[in-house]
Structure 1
Amino acid sequence: MNYISSLATVATDLQPAVSVRGLSRRFGNGSPVLDKLNLDIAQGEFVALLGRSGSGKSTLLRALSGLDPVREGQISCPQESAVVFQESRLLPWKKVWQNVMLGKAGATRSDARQVLEEVGLGHRTDAWPLTLSGGEAQRAALARALIREPKFLMLDEPFAALDALTRLHMQNLVSALWQRHKSAVLLVTHDVDEALLLADRAVVLEKGHIRAEVSISLPRPRRHYDPAFVHLRSALLKHLGVDE
């Protein structure tokens, strides 16, 4: 089976949950960080966004999340959107359940406890953030996003600061949650293997343009030693300018 699709042939029959058209972003008089970018994410699709530092990944995510104004181009996103950053950004003076409640206006302690149970953190509901491990803090941040019941979830390198074992646990958790809720997901990552383990499609950015899109139709759960996985890793690394 051919697991690789070119930019021209990656397509979906599903109605896009997220649509980006002609998005450009520049800072000062420099070259555009994003240059007339077009991107669709289908309902229930998991997309990984890769690229070198400065390629525009975080700039795109900030525009999608509403943190940066859109002055050139158009973005259409579900109102029920949420983002998880590399840092958990928990308020240290509020307990874990109180931090989770901040994700949704009108949320109750019962709502917070329910979503904390879902991410495996029910036993830390009343803990203070500073007593959490790195993995626990990211679970709390994920719960704060999930309490919104998002139709579009953005993940900005949320596992980058975690140790290898905790990172693997978090990847498995995100995969399980996505398969359960089927929201559209955009994961910003530098990790090619992470993209291949989690995503339906990998998008490679370079200098504000989409250099390549790779459809990842491998059956789940995925294994690093699968020849098709190895083949896709090589293809993505080449798109990223890495010669194995």
Structure 2
Amino acid sequence: MTHIQSDVHPGTAVIVERLTRRFNNGPPVLDELDLAIAPGEFVALLGHSGSGKSTLLRTLAGLDPVTDGAVTRPRDVSVVFQEHRLLPWKRVWKNVVLGQEDKAIRQRAEAVLEEVGLSHRSNAWPLTLSGGEAQRAALARALVREPAFLMLDEPFAALDALTRLKMQQLVADLWKKHGCAVLLVTHDVDEALLLADRAVVLERGRIRVDVPITIPRPRRHADPGFEGLRSLLLDALGVHAA
């Protein structure tokens, strides 16, 4: 079975079945991987560089072909990358609705920029935005399409610590409002525990750990159970907890 299709089984937003991916006849980057994500579920994907995280995300986004295995996903998907990828010659609101043509595009752009706290920069040029503002614009561009499945590929990695915390809270608020399934690729264990319903650790293209995060929201590092889950995930990543 080798295909990607854009309809889902009842009760499931994303299904990955025996997905294998190799490059230049080398060892598998993804090795018969199975993964399911429920509608509205927030899943954090962790792993060392080379574990297969970005390859899986690119495959789910339709950027890499499915040559061995099967992927089923919603028709409406959006991706936010670590680099904001805004076009510098288009104003912020035009970047948000890039590729869309209808009479209400400016209104929809303004509405989603308001959601991400960037309405005051709607008419700005991208090069005048701070790093956090640029990522807010990238989030707005993803959400304006009202995706059923949102993928976030280390979107906060280049931000300073304070801006990163603010962006994490923004993503949590937007996920709660929009209700889409989310896959967050991250190297940050604490970020996964603060945001996700489930944490999945990849190792050599296979799932090593898949653990639910049942800590009530909003979450804090001092919450009971946080340190135990943190130690579990760090151990799965081969890191000794401090």
Runs of 4 or more consecutive aligned structure 1 residues displaced over 3 Å after TM superposition: 103-107
Give deviations 1:209-238, integer Å, cap 9, x for gaps: 000101001000101122311111001101
Gaps of 5+ in 2: 1-9
Gaps of 5+ in 1: 1-13
Is 1:43 paired with 2:22? no
TM-score normalised to structure 2 length = 0.93
Deviation at 1:105, TM superposition (A): 5.0
Alignment: residue pair count: 231
| d(CA) in 1 for partners of 2:106, 2:220 | 39
| d(CA) in 1 for partners of 2:73, 2:137 | 24
In structure 2, the residue matched to 1:4 is none
Per mean C-alpha deviation after superposition, the further-off stretch among 34-43 and 223-232 is: 223-232
SS of residue matched to 2:13: strand
- Select 2:80's aligned residue among 79, 84, 87: 84
TM-score normalised to structure 1 length = 0.93
Is 1:58 paired with 2:54? yes
In structure 2, the residue matched to 1:162 is 159
Per mean C-alpha deviation after superposition, the further-off stretch among 219-228 and 179-188 is: 219-228
Q: Following superposition of structure 1 onto structure 2, how do residues 41-190 of structure 1 map, counting pairs within 5 Å?
A: 41-102=37-98, 104-106=100-102, 108-190=105-187
In structure 2, the residue matched to 1:31 is 27
Amino acid at match of 1:215: P
Identity of aligned residues (%): 71
Give deviations 1:79-126, integer Å, cap 9, x for gaps: 110000000000000000000011645461111011000100000000
Give deviations 1:184-212, integer Å, cap 9, x for gaps: 00000000000000000000000000001
Contact residue 215 and residue 223 of structure 2 kept, 8 A: no
SS of residue matched to 1:27: coil
In structure 2, the residue matched to 1:202 is 199
Amino acid at match of 1:72: D
Alpha-carbon RMSD: 1.1
Is 1:225 paired with 2:186? no
| d(CA) in 2 for partners of 1:25, 1:58 | 12
| d(CA) in 2 for partners of 1:177, 1:145 | 11
Change (3 A) 1:103 1:147: farther
SS of residue matched to 1:169: helix
Deviation at 1:30, TM superposition (A): 1.2
| d(CA) in 2 for partners of 1:229, 1:189 | 17
Contact residue 48 and residue 186 of structure 1 kept, 8 A: yes
In structure 2, the residue matched to 1:9 is none
Contact residue 86 and residue 158 of structure 1 kept, 8 A: yes
